[in-house]
Each structure stands twice: as structure tokens, then as C-alpha cells.
């Protein structure tokens, strides 16, 4: 074997595999009880978030048209709107203190 063949043979060999390839040691793929507790806590949080979102979505009107929304509004908001309209009408018809009637 010549020197050239020896160098080519040494360079062509595959490197030896590391003792711990890619962090896949003895405990690779195993979980701990802490992971189970976190998973359960996340599941509980998701359930509460879904309940809250459902409650909020029930408050959203089906149609965003103002006329239909006013017709579907509860009586309390209709009374409030009527009171506001009456106040604006009174302020428009009431003369200022400086003007004569």
C-alpha cells in the first residue's frame, strides 16, 4: 500500500458515532409526572376559556344591522334611547337665556 492509498483509505472512513447521538440518551422519550400535571392544567384552562368565549358569543347580535338590532333590543335600551331623544328635543326647543321667547 502506498502513502497515497493509505491517506485515501483513512479519509474515506466514516467517523465514529458519538456516545450520545443527538441527545437521545437513556431517558429519551420518557415523561415525568410534572408533564402530566402541566397537561391536565392546560386542559382545564382550555375548558374555562371555551366556556367564557361561549358566554361572550351569546351576547353578540346575530345581525349587525342597526334597524334590526333596535327591534331586537330589550325594552330597557329602547327606553334609554327614547329618553335621550326626548332630552335632545327639549334642548333644541328650549330658548337660551339671552334670547327672548
pLDDT digits (tens, 9 = 90+) for 25-58: 777 777 788 989 999 999 999 999 999 999 999 9
Rounded to a whole number of angstroms, the distance between the first and last alpha carbons of the chain is 125
* Average pLDDT rounded to a whole number, residues 13-31: 72
Q: With contact defined as beta carbons under 8 Å apart, do 70 and 78 qualify?
A: yes
89 phi/psi in degrees, rounded to 5? -65, -40
d(CA 94, CA 6): 111
pLDDT at 47: 98
Q: How large a percentage of the chain has pLDDT more than 90?
A: 22
Domain boundaries, the chain: 65-90
Q: What is the pLDDT of residues 86-96, one digit of tens each?
A: 888 877 765 55
Average pLDDT taken over every residue of the chain: 78
Average confidence (pLDDT) over 7-27: 73
Amino acid at each position: 500500500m502506498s502513502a497515497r492509498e493509505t491517506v485515501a483509505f483513512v479519509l474515506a472512513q466514516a467517523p465514529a458515532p458519538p456516545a450520545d447521538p443527538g441527545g437521545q440518551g437513556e431517558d429519551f422519550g420518557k415523561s415525568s409526572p410534572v408533564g402530566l400535571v402541566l397537561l391536565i392544567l392546560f386542559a382545564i384552562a382550555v375548558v374555562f376559556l371555551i366556556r367564557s368565549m361561549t358566554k361572550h358569543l351569546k351576547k353578540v347580535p346575530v345581525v349587525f344591522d342597526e334597524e334590526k338590532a333596535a327591534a331586537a333590543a330589550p325594552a330597557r335600551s329602547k327606553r334609554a334611547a327614547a329618553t335621550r331623544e326626548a332630552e335632545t328635543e327639549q334642548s333644541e326647543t328650549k330658548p337660551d337665556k339671552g334670547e327672548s321667547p
